Structure 1
Protein backbone atom coordinates (compact mmCIF):
# COMPACT_ATOMS: atom_id res chain seq x y z
CA UNK A 1 0.00 0.00 0.00
CA UNK A 2 1.38 3.43 -0.99
CA UNK A 3 2.43 5.70 1.85
CA UNK A 4 0.35 8.88 2.26
CA UNK A 5 2.23 11.81 3.82
CA UNK A 6 0.62 13.30 6.91
CA UNK A 7 0.23 16.74 5.34
CA UNK A 8 -1.79 15.13 2.50
CA UNK A 9 -4.06 13.47 5.08
CA UNK A 10 -4.66 16.88 6.66
CA UNK A 11 -5.49 18.36 3.25
CA UNK A 12 -7.92 15.52 2.50
CA UNK A 13 -9.55 15.94 5.90
CA UNK A 14 -10.17 19.66 5.32
CA UNK A 15 -11.34 19.21 1.72
CA UNK A 16 -13.81 16.48 2.71
CA UNK A 17 -15.20 18.64 5.51
CA UNK A 18 -15.62 21.54 3.04
CA UNK A 19 -17.36 19.30 0.50
CA UNK A 20 -19.74 17.89 3.12
CA UNK A 21 -20.57 21.34 4.51
CA UNK A 22 -18.95 20.82 7.90
CA UNK A 23 -16.65 23.76 7.14
CA UNK A 24 -18.82 26.37 5.44
CA UNK A 25 -17.74 29.26 3.15
CA UNK A 26 -16.34 32.10 5.22
CA UNK A 27 -16.04 29.87 8.31
CA UNK A 28 -12.79 29.54 10.25
CA UNK A 29 -11.18 26.09 10.15
CA UNK A 30 -9.09 24.52 12.98
CA UNK A 31 -5.78 26.25 13.64
CA UNK A 32 -2.51 24.70 12.55
CA UNK A 33 -1.78 23.87 16.18
CA UNK A 34 -5.16 22.12 16.53
CA UNK A 35 -4.63 20.23 13.29
CA UNK A 36 -1.22 19.15 14.55
CA UNK A 37 -2.84 17.83 17.72
CA UNK A 38 -5.62 16.03 15.80
CA UNK A 39 -3.15 14.23 13.52
CA UNK A 40 -0.35 13.98 16.08
CA UNK A 41 2.10 15.79 13.81
CA UNK A 42 4.24 18.90 14.06
CA UNK A 43 2.83 22.35 13.43
CA UNK A 44 5.17 22.60 10.41
CA UNK A 45 3.39 19.62 8.79
CA UNK A 46 -0.01 21.26 9.34
CA UNK A 47 1.34 24.54 7.94
CA UNK A 48 2.49 22.73 4.78
CA UNK A 49 -1.05 21.37 4.28
CA UNK A 50 -2.62 24.81 4.81
CA UNK A 51 -0.20 26.46 2.39
CA UNK A 52 -1.17 23.95 -0.30
CA UNK A 53 -4.88 24.53 0.33
CA UNK A 54 -4.39 28.30 0.07
CA UNK A 55 -2.59 27.86 -3.29
CA UNK A 56 -5.41 25.63 -4.55
CA UNK A 57 -8.06 28.14 -3.48
CA UNK A 58 -9.87 26.07 -0.87
CA UNK A 59 -9.02 28.42 2.00
CA UNK A 60 -7.55 31.87 2.61
CA UNK A 61 -5.61 33.31 5.54
CA UNK A 62 -6.10 36.55 7.47
CA UNK A 63 -3.03 37.61 9.40
CA UNK A 64 -3.65 37.36 13.13
CA UNK A 65 -7.15 35.90 12.72
CA UNK A 66 -6.73 32.46 11.19
CA UNK A 67 -7.64 30.45 8.09
CA UNK A 68 -11.09 30.56 6.50
CA UNK A 69 -12.99 28.55 3.86
CA UNK A 70 -13.02 30.20 0.45
CA UNK A 71 -16.34 31.56 -0.78
CA UNK A 72 -15.71 30.05 -4.21
CA UNK A 73 -16.38 26.48 -5.33
CA UNK A 74 -13.14 24.96 -6.59
CA UNK A 75 -12.99 22.81 -9.74
CA UNK A 76 -9.94 20.86 -10.90
CA UNK A 77 -10.48 20.80 -14.66
CA UNK A 78 -8.22 17.76 -15.07
CA UNK A 79 -10.66 15.70 -13.02
CA UNK A 80 -13.48 16.34 -15.49
CA UNK A 81 -14.32 13.98 -18.28
CA UNK A 82 -17.46 16.00 -19.01
CA UNK A 83 -18.17 19.70 -18.63
CA UNK A 84 -21.13 21.84 -17.74
CA UNK A 85 -23.94 20.61 -15.51
CA UNK A 86 -22.39 17.17 -15.31
CA UNK A 87 -22.02 14.45 -12.70
CA UNK A 88 -18.46 15.18 -11.53
CA UNK A 89 -18.77 18.93 -11.17
CA UNK A 90 -20.03 21.20 -8.41
CA UNK A 91 -22.11 22.75 -11.19
CA UNK A 92 -24.24 19.63 -10.84
CA UNK A 93 -25.13 20.41 -7.21
CA UNK A 94 -28.36 22.07 -6.09
CA UNK A 95 -31.14 22.79 -8.63
CA UNK A 96 -31.11 22.79 -12.43
CA UNK A 97 -34.01 24.46 -14.18
CA UNK A 98 -34.72 24.01 -17.90
CA UNK A 99 -35.91 27.39 -19.17
CA UNK A 100 -36.51 26.62 -22.83
CA UNK A 101 -36.27 23.90 -25.46
CA UNK A 102 -36.83 24.80 -29.10
CA UNK A 103 -35.75 24.16 -32.68
CA UNK A 104 -33.85 26.96 -34.39
CA UNK A 105 -32.10 27.51 -37.71
CA UNK A 106 -28.31 27.17 -37.69
CA UNK A 107 -27.89 30.64 -39.15
CA UNK A 108 -24.59 32.45 -39.50
CA UNK A 109 -23.77 32.25 -35.77
CA UNK A 110 -23.44 28.46 -35.65
CA UNK A 111 -22.70 27.62 -39.28
CA UNK A 112 -18.94 28.01 -38.93
CA UNK A 113 -18.77 26.84 -35.29
CA UNK A 114 -20.53 23.56 -36.05
CA UNK A 115 -19.63 23.03 -39.72
CA UNK A 116 -23.30 23.13 -40.80
CA UNK A 117 -25.21 25.00 -43.48
CA UNK A 118 -27.23 28.00 -42.34
CA UNK A 119 -30.54 26.38 -43.32
CA UNK A 120 -30.07 23.27 -41.17
CA UNK A 121 -31.75 23.03 -37.76
CA UNK A 122 -30.60 22.74 -34.16
CA UNK A 123 -32.15 21.84 -30.86
CA UNK A 124 -31.48 24.68 -28.44
CA UNK A 125 -31.61 23.95 -24.70
CA UNK A 126 -31.22 26.72 -22.12
CA UNK A 127 -30.82 25.78 -18.45
CA UNK A 128 -30.10 27.61 -15.21
CA UNK A 129 -28.10 26.38 -12.23
CA UNK A 130 -29.68 27.70 -9.01
CA UNK A 131 -28.21 27.78 -5.52
CA UNK A 132 -30.73 28.81 -2.84
CA UNK A 133 -32.92 30.26 -5.58
CA UNK A 134 -30.15 32.37 -7.10
CA UNK A 135 -28.97 31.71 -10.66
CA UNK A 136 -25.20 31.16 -10.64
CA UNK A 137 -24.73 29.73 -14.15
CA UNK A 138 -26.54 29.63 -17.48
CA UNK A 139 -26.06 26.75 -19.93
CA UNK A 140 -26.76 26.92 -23.68
CA UNK A 141 -26.69 23.60 -25.58
CA UNK A 142 -27.03 23.10 -29.35
CA UNK A 143 -27.61 19.71 -31.02
CA UNK A 144 -27.88 19.25 -34.83
CA UNK A 145 -31.28 17.67 -35.58
CA UNK A 146 -29.83 15.53 -38.37
CA UNK A 147 -27.78 13.54 -35.82
CA UNK A 148 -30.74 13.05 -33.45
CA UNK A 149 -33.58 11.92 -35.77
CA UNK A 150 -35.53 9.99 -33.12
CA UNK A 151 -35.09 12.51 -30.28
CA UNK A 152 -38.20 14.32 -29.08
CA UNK A 153 -36.74 16.70 -26.54
CA UNK A 154 -40.03 17.93 -25.12
CA UNK A 155 -40.79 14.35 -24.10
CA UNK A 156 -37.38 13.76 -22.49
CA UNK A 157 -36.32 14.63 -18.95
CA UNK A 158 -33.05 16.50 -19.49
CA UNK A 159 -30.31 15.36 -17.16
CA UNK A 160 -26.64 15.22 -18.10
CA UNK A 161 -26.02 16.46 -21.64
CA UNK A 162 -23.14 13.98 -21.93
CA UNK A 163 -25.63 11.13 -21.36
CA UNK A 164 -28.23 12.68 -23.68
CA UNK A 165 -25.70 12.78 -26.52
CA UNK A 166 -24.53 9.23 -25.78
CA UNK A 167 -28.08 7.82 -25.69
CA UNK A 168 -29.76 9.84 -28.46
CA UNK A 169 -27.18 10.63 -31.13
CA UNK A 170 -26.75 7.94 -33.77
CA UNK A 171 -23.07 8.87 -34.00
CA UNK A 172 -20.77 7.82 -31.17
CA UNK A 173 -19.10 10.65 -29.27
CA UNK A 174 -15.32 10.41 -29.14
CA UNK A 175 -13.77 13.60 -27.77
CA UNK A 176 -14.51 17.17 -26.76
CA UNK A 177 -12.58 20.41 -26.80
CA UNK A 178 -13.20 22.84 -23.95
CA UNK A 179 -12.10 26.45 -23.74
CA UNK A 180 -12.31 28.50 -20.53
CA UNK A 181 -12.12 32.27 -20.81
CA UNK A 182 -13.42 35.45 -19.18
CA UNK A 183 -16.24 37.16 -21.09
CA UNK A 184 -18.58 40.10 -20.59
CA UNK A 185 -22.29 39.59 -20.02
CA UNK A 186 -24.94 40.62 -22.49
CA UNK A 187 -28.06 42.44 -21.31
CA UNK A 188 -30.15 39.29 -20.84
CA UNK A 189 -27.41 37.35 -18.99
CA UNK A 190 -26.77 40.34 -16.73
CA UNK A 191 -30.43 40.32 -15.69
CA UNK A 192 -30.56 36.53 -15.23
CA UNK A 193 -27.43 36.37 -13.05
CA UNK A 194 -28.13 39.64 -11.26
CA UNK A 195 -24.64 40.94 -12.11
CA UNK A 196 -23.42 44.21 -13.57
CA UNK A 197 -22.69 44.05 -17.30
CA UNK A 198 -19.21 45.42 -16.66
CA UNK A 199 -18.31 42.45 -14.48
CA UNK A 200 -16.45 39.63 -16.28
CA UNK A 201 -17.70 36.06 -15.87
CA UNK A 202 -16.29 32.69 -16.90
CA UNK A 203 -17.33 30.95 -20.10
CA UNK A 204 -16.82 27.22 -20.61
CA UNK A 205 -17.21 26.54 -24.31
CA UNK A 206 -17.40 22.88 -25.34
CA UNK A 207 -17.48 21.23 -28.77
CA UNK A 208 -18.15 17.48 -28.87
CA UNK A 209 -16.94 15.40 -31.82
CA UNK A 210 -18.04 11.97 -33.05
CA UNK A 211 -15.78 9.11 -34.13
CA UNK A 212 -16.28 10.43 -37.68
CA UNK A 213 -15.09 13.88 -36.51
CA UNK A 214 -18.56 15.41 -36.89
CA UNK A 215 -19.62 18.09 -34.41
CA UNK A 216 -22.55 16.57 -32.55
CA UNK A 217 -22.87 19.08 -29.71
CA UNK A 218 -21.85 22.63 -28.98
CA UNK A 219 -22.45 24.25 -25.60
CA UNK A 220 -21.58 27.32 -23.57
CA UNK A 221 -21.74 27.72 -19.80
CA UNK A 222 -21.77 31.28 -18.48
CA UNK A 223 -20.62 31.06 -14.85
CA UNK A 224 -20.57 33.58 -12.01
CA UNK A 225 -16.84 33.87 -11.27
CA UNK A 226 -17.62 35.06 -7.73
CA UNK A 227 -18.88 31.53 -7.00
CA UNK A 228 -16.62 29.23 -9.05
CA UNK A 229 -12.89 28.99 -9.59
CA UNK A 230 -11.05 26.54 -11.87
CA UNK A 231 -7.52 25.22 -11.50
CA UNK A 232 -5.27 22.46 -12.87
CA UNK A 233 -2.78 20.16 -11.13
CA UNK A 234 0.36 19.46 -13.15
CA UNK A 235 2.50 16.39 -12.44
CA UNK A 236 5.98 17.71 -13.13
CA UNK A 237 7.63 14.35 -12.39
CA UNK A 238 5.76 12.45 -15.07
Structure 2
Protein backbone atom coordinates (compact mmCIF):
# COMPACT_ATOMS: atom_id res chain seq x y z
CA UNK A 1 0.00 0.00 0.00
CA UNK A 2 1.27 3.47 -0.86
CA UNK A 3 2.31 5.79 1.95
CA UNK A 4 -0.17 8.48 0.88
CA UNK A 5 -3.03 6.01 1.03
CA UNK A 6 -2.06 4.99 4.56
CA UNK A 7 -1.99 8.62 5.70
CA UNK A 8 -5.38 9.28 4.14
CA UNK A 9 -6.81 6.23 5.86
CA UNK A 10 -5.40 7.41 9.19
CA UNK A 11 -6.95 10.85 8.72
CA UNK A 12 -10.34 9.32 7.95
CA UNK A 13 -10.04 7.15 11.05
CA UNK A 14 -9.27 10.20 13.23
CA UNK A 15 -12.24 12.09 11.78
CA UNK A 16 -14.47 9.11 12.54
CA UNK A 17 -13.21 9.06 16.14
CA UNK A 18 -13.90 12.78 16.53
CA UNK A 19 -17.47 12.24 15.35
CA UNK A 20 -17.87 9.29 17.74
CA UNK A 21 -16.49 11.32 20.69
CA UNK A 22 -17.58 14.96 20.18
CA UNK A 23 -15.86 17.68 22.20
CA UNK A 24 -18.08 18.70 25.15
CA UNK A 25 -19.63 22.15 24.87
CA UNK A 26 -18.14 23.37 28.15
CA UNK A 27 -14.69 22.45 26.86
CA UNK A 28 -15.27 24.41 23.64
CA UNK A 29 -16.30 27.45 25.70
CA UNK A 30 -13.29 26.97 27.98
CA UNK A 31 -10.87 26.76 25.04
CA UNK A 32 -12.37 29.84 23.40
CA UNK A 33 -12.03 31.91 26.58
CA UNK A 34 -8.52 30.56 27.13
CA UNK A 35 -7.46 31.58 23.62
CA UNK A 36 -8.75 35.12 24.24
CA UNK A 37 -6.46 35.28 27.25
CA UNK A 38 -3.49 33.69 25.50
CA UNK A 39 -3.60 35.95 22.43
CA UNK A 40 -3.91 39.08 24.57
CA UNK A 41 -7.47 40.02 23.62
CA UNK A 42 -8.41 39.71 27.27
CA UNK A 43 -5.63 41.12 29.46
CA UNK A 44 -4.84 40.56 33.17
CA UNK A 45 -7.30 42.36 35.43
CA UNK A 46 -9.95 42.71 32.70
CA UNK A 47 -13.57 41.94 33.56
CA UNK A 48 -14.82 39.21 31.21
CA UNK A 49 -18.40 39.14 29.83
CA UNK A 50 -21.14 38.09 32.25
CA UNK A 51 -22.52 34.55 32.33
CA UNK A 52 -25.62 35.78 30.49
CA UNK A 53 -23.49 37.32 27.74
CA UNK A 54 -21.39 34.17 27.41
CA UNK A 55 -24.54 32.04 27.21
CA UNK A 56 -25.72 34.16 24.30
CA UNK A 57 -22.31 34.28 22.59
CA UNK A 58 -21.81 30.50 22.64
CA UNK A 59 -25.49 29.46 22.54
CA UNK A 60 -25.08 27.24 25.58
CA UNK A 61 -26.70 26.85 28.99
CA UNK A 62 -25.75 28.61 32.22
CA UNK A 63 -24.43 25.30 33.62
CA UNK A 64 -22.07 24.93 30.64
CA UNK A 65 -20.70 28.46 31.08
CA UNK A 66 -20.22 27.99 34.82
CA UNK A 67 -18.31 24.74 34.34
CA UNK A 68 -15.96 26.38 31.82
CA UNK A 69 -15.34 29.33 34.16
CA UNK A 70 -14.89 27.02 37.14
CA UNK A 71 -12.17 25.01 35.39
CA UNK A 72 -10.35 28.15 34.20
CA UNK A 73 -10.52 29.54 37.74
CA UNK A 74 -9.12 26.29 39.10
CA UNK A 75 -6.26 26.55 36.57
CA UNK A 76 -5.50 30.09 37.73
CA UNK A 77 -6.49 31.82 34.48
CA UNK A 78 -9.56 33.55 35.94
CA UNK A 79 -10.66 34.71 39.38
CA UNK A 80 -14.06 35.81 40.68
CA UNK A 81 -14.92 38.63 43.07
CA UNK A 82 -18.32 38.22 44.69
CA UNK A 83 -20.72 40.89 43.48
CA UNK A 84 -18.30 42.24 40.85
CA UNK A 85 -17.78 39.47 38.33
CA UNK A 86 -15.03 37.31 36.87
CA UNK A 87 -11.65 38.73 35.88
CA UNK A 88 -8.58 37.61 33.95
CA UNK A 89 -5.83 36.54 36.35
CA UNK A 90 -2.20 37.51 36.03
CA UNK A 91 0.04 34.81 34.51
CA UNK A 92 1.56 32.50 37.10
CA UNK A 93 5.22 33.04 37.89
CA UNK A 94 7.30 29.97 37.03
CA UNK A 95 9.97 28.82 39.47
CA UNK A 96 12.58 26.22 38.63
CA UNK A 97 13.12 24.03 41.65
CA UNK A 98 15.39 21.31 40.29
CA UNK A 99 19.10 21.41 39.37
CA UNK A 100 19.48 25.08 40.36
CA UNK A 101 20.94 26.18 43.70
CA UNK A 102 19.34 29.62 43.39
CA UNK A 103 17.14 31.29 45.97
CA UNK A 104 13.78 32.74 44.94
CA UNK A 105 15.31 36.22 44.69
CA UNK A 106 17.96 35.08 42.19
CA UNK A 107 15.59 32.82 40.29
CA UNK A 108 13.03 35.50 39.52
CA UNK A 109 15.65 38.17 38.78
CA UNK A 110 17.10 35.87 36.12
CA UNK A 111 13.65 35.91 34.54
CA UNK A 112 13.45 39.70 34.63
CA UNK A 113 10.98 39.80 37.54
CA UNK A 114 11.71 42.33 40.29
CA UNK A 115 10.89 40.90 43.69
CA UNK A 116 10.19 43.23 46.64
CA UNK A 117 10.94 41.97 50.14
CA UNK A 118 9.32 42.95 53.43
CA UNK A 119 11.16 41.62 56.48
CA UNK A 120 8.59 40.72 59.14
CA UNK A 121 11.00 39.18 61.64
CA UNK A 122 14.80 38.94 61.93
CA UNK A 123 16.22 37.74 65.25
CA UNK A 124 17.88 34.83 67.07
CA UNK A 125 15.84 32.30 69.04
CA UNK A 126 16.23 28.81 70.55
CA UNK A 127 15.62 26.03 67.99
CA UNK A 128 12.48 23.96 68.40
CA UNK A 129 12.72 20.17 68.18
CA UNK A 130 11.60 20.23 64.53
CA UNK A 131 14.05 22.94 63.46
CA UNK A 132 16.89 21.37 65.44
CA UNK A 133 16.20 18.03 63.75
CA UNK A 134 16.30 19.60 60.29
CA UNK A 135 19.60 21.40 60.98
CA UNK A 136 21.32 18.66 62.98
CA UNK A 137 21.30 20.75 66.18
CA UNK A 138 20.28 20.12 69.75
CA UNK A 139 16.89 21.53 70.76
CA UNK A 140 17.44 24.94 72.30
CA UNK A 141 20.56 25.81 70.32
CA UNK A 142 20.26 29.30 68.91
CA UNK A 143 19.24 29.87 65.30
CA UNK A 144 18.74 33.05 63.32
CA UNK A 145 15.07 33.33 62.29
CA UNK A 146 14.08 35.31 59.22
CA UNK A 147 10.45 35.80 58.12
CA UNK A 148 9.96 37.59 54.81
CA UNK A 149 7.01 38.43 52.58
CA UNK A 150 7.89 38.64 48.88
CA UNK A 151 5.84 40.72 46.43
CA UNK A 152 5.73 41.60 42.75
CA UNK A 153 4.12 44.90 41.75
CA UNK A 154 2.66 45.32 45.27
CA UNK A 155 0.98 41.91 45.10
CA UNK A 156 2.04 39.56 47.90
CA UNK A 157 3.06 36.20 46.44
CA UNK A 158 4.80 34.20 49.15
CA UNK A 159 5.95 34.18 52.74
CA UNK A 160 9.04 32.33 53.87
CA UNK A 161 10.53 31.44 57.25
CA UNK A 162 14.24 30.64 57.29
CA UNK A 163 16.35 29.15 60.09
CA UNK A 164 20.18 29.24 60.15
CA UNK A 165 22.45 28.14 63.02
CA UNK A 166 23.52 31.32 64.80
CA UNK A 167 27.07 30.01 65.21
CA UNK A 168 27.48 30.22 61.41
CA UNK A 169 26.25 33.82 61.13
CA UNK A 170 26.25 35.42 64.60
CA UNK A 171 25.26 38.93 63.48
CA UNK A 172 22.85 38.11 60.64
CA UNK A 173 20.05 39.82 62.57
CA UNK A 174 21.81 43.17 61.99
CA UNK A 175 22.10 42.81 58.19
CA UNK A 176 19.67 44.62 55.86
CA UNK A 177 17.95 41.80 53.97
CA UNK A 178 15.13 43.86 52.48
CA UNK A 179 17.06 44.73 49.33
CA UNK A 180 19.48 41.89 48.76
CA UNK A 181 19.59 38.12 48.42
CA UNK A 182 20.07 36.05 51.57
CA UNK A 183 22.24 33.58 49.64
CA UNK A 184 24.44 36.43 48.44
CA UNK A 185 24.94 37.59 52.04
CA UNK A 186 25.66 34.07 53.28
CA UNK A 187 28.19 33.56 50.51
CA UNK A 188 30.02 36.89 50.64
CA UNK A 189 29.79 37.76 54.34
CA UNK A 190 29.97 34.34 55.99
CA UNK A 191 31.62 32.21 53.29
CA UNK A 192 28.73 29.72 53.30
CA UNK A 193 28.39 27.99 49.92
CA UNK A 194 25.62 25.56 48.99
CA UNK A 195 26.99 22.15 48.03
CA UNK A 196 23.62 20.46 47.69
CA UNK A 197 20.05 20.82 48.81
CA UNK A 198 16.83 18.88 49.36
CA UNK A 199 13.43 20.33 48.53
CA UNK A 200 9.92 18.95 49.00
CA UNK A 201 6.68 20.39 47.65
CA UNK A 202 3.09 19.82 48.73
CA UNK A 203 -0.34 21.43 48.36
CA UNK A 204 -1.83 22.94 51.52
CA UNK A 205 -4.63 25.32 52.51
CA UNK A 206 -3.87 28.77 53.90
CA UNK A 207 -4.16 29.03 57.68
CA UNK A 208 -4.85 32.27 59.52
CA UNK A 209 -1.18 33.27 59.66
CA UNK A 210 -0.52 32.72 55.93
CA UNK A 211 -3.85 34.23 54.89
CA UNK A 212 -3.16 37.39 56.91
CA UNK A 213 0.38 37.90 55.61
CA UNK A 214 -0.50 37.13 51.98
CA UNK A 215 -3.80 39.05 52.12
CA UNK A 216 -5.83 36.12 50.81
CA UNK A 217 -8.91 34.23 51.99
CA UNK A 218 -8.60 31.60 54.71
CA UNK A 219 -8.29 28.17 53.09
CA UNK A 220 -6.91 29.47 49.80
CA UNK A 221 -4.65 26.98 47.96
CA UNK A 222 -0.93 27.26 48.68
CA UNK A 223 2.21 25.45 47.61
CA UNK A 224 4.41 24.64 50.58
CA UNK A 225 8.10 24.32 49.75
CA UNK A 226 10.41 22.89 52.42
CA UNK A 227 14.15 23.31 51.73
CA UNK A 228 17.35 22.23 53.47
CA UNK A 229 20.73 23.46 52.17
CA UNK A 230 24.01 21.69 52.98
CA UNK A 231 27.65 22.73 53.03
CA UNK A 232 30.38 20.73 51.32
CA UNK A 233 31.22 19.00 54.64
CA UNK A 234 27.66 17.69 54.90
CA UNK A 235 26.39 20.10 57.56
CA UNK A 236 22.91 21.57 57.11
CA UNK A 237 23.15 25.34 57.30
CA UNK A 238 19.71 26.54 56.20
CA UNK A 239 16.17 25.26 56.67
CA UNK A 240 13.26 27.17 55.19
CA UNK A 241 9.49 26.84 54.80
CA UNK A 242 7.92 28.88 52.03
CA UNK A 243 4.21 29.27 51.30
CA UNK A 244 3.51 30.23 47.67
CA UNK A 245 0.09 31.40 46.55
CA UNK A 246 -1.34 28.56 44.49
CA UNK A 247 -3.13 30.92 42.11
CA UNK A 248 0.09 32.79 41.28
CA UNK A 249 2.75 30.07 41.08
CA UNK A 250 3.57 27.33 38.60
CA UNK A 251 6.25 24.75 39.26
CA UNK A 252 8.71 23.87 36.50
CA UNK A 253 10.76 20.71 36.99
CA UNK A 254 13.89 20.15 34.96
CA UNK A 255 15.12 16.59 34.47
CA UNK A 256 17.87 14.67 32.73
CA UNK A 257 17.69 11.03 31.59
CA UNK A 258 19.53 8.27 33.42
CA UNK A 259 22.13 7.24 30.86
CA UNK A 260 22.21 3.66 32.21
CA UNK A 261 18.50 3.25 31.55
CA UNK A 262 18.21 5.35 28.38
TM-score tier, shorter chain, comes to 0.5 to 0.7
Deviation at 1:171? Answer: 5.1
CA gap 1:120/1:168 in 2 versus in 1, 3 angstroms: farther
1:88 aligns with 2:107: yes
Pair 155,69 (structure 1): closer, same or farther in 2 beyond 3 Å: closer
| Cα distance change on mapping 1:233 and 1:102 into 2, 3 Å | closer
Gaps of 5+ in 2: 1-35, 42-74, 78-87
Equivalent pair of 1:182/1:203 in contact (CA under 8 Å): yes
Alignment RMSD (CA, Å): 3.2
* Offset from partner CA, 1:35-82 (integer Å, 9 cap, x none): xxxxxxxxxxxxxxxxxxxxxx9x9xxxxxxxx997212234346321
Measured at CA, do residues 28 and 200 of structure 1 come closer, stay the same or move farther in structure 2, by a change above 3 Å?
closer
For 1:112, what is the secondary structure of its paired residue?
helix
1:75 corresponding residue in structure 2: 95
Q: Matches of 2:208 and 2:144 in 1, distance apart?
A: 23
Question: Does the CA contact (< 8 Å) of 1:202 and 1:225 recur in 2?
Answer: yes
Shift of 1:177: 1.1
Residues 129-148 of structure 1 correspond to what in structure 2 (within 5 A)?
Answer: 129-148=150-169
Q: Secondary structure at the match of 1:87?
A: helix
Q: 1:221 deviation in Å?
A: 1.4
TM-score with structure 2 length normalisation? 0.58
Matching residue of 2:39: 29
The structure richer in helix per residue is 2
Structure 2 CA distance, aligned partners of 1:219 and 1:148? Answer: 16
Q: Is the 8 A contact 2:147 2:160 kept in 1?
A: yes
CA distance in 2, matches of 1:172, 1:81: 10
Whether 1:209 aligns to 2:230 is: yes
Work out the number of aligned pairs and report it.
179
Q: CA deviation at 1:156?
A: 3.6
Alpha-carbon contact 1:190-1:197 (below 8 Å) kept = yes
**What is the distance in 1 between the residues matched to 2:150 and 2:176?**
19
Provide TM-score, normalisation by structure 1: 0.63
1:130 Cα deviation after fit: 1.6
Counterpart CA distance in 2 for 1:140 and 1:73 is 20
Q: Which runs of 5+ in 1 are unaligned?
A: 1-25, 32-56, 60-67
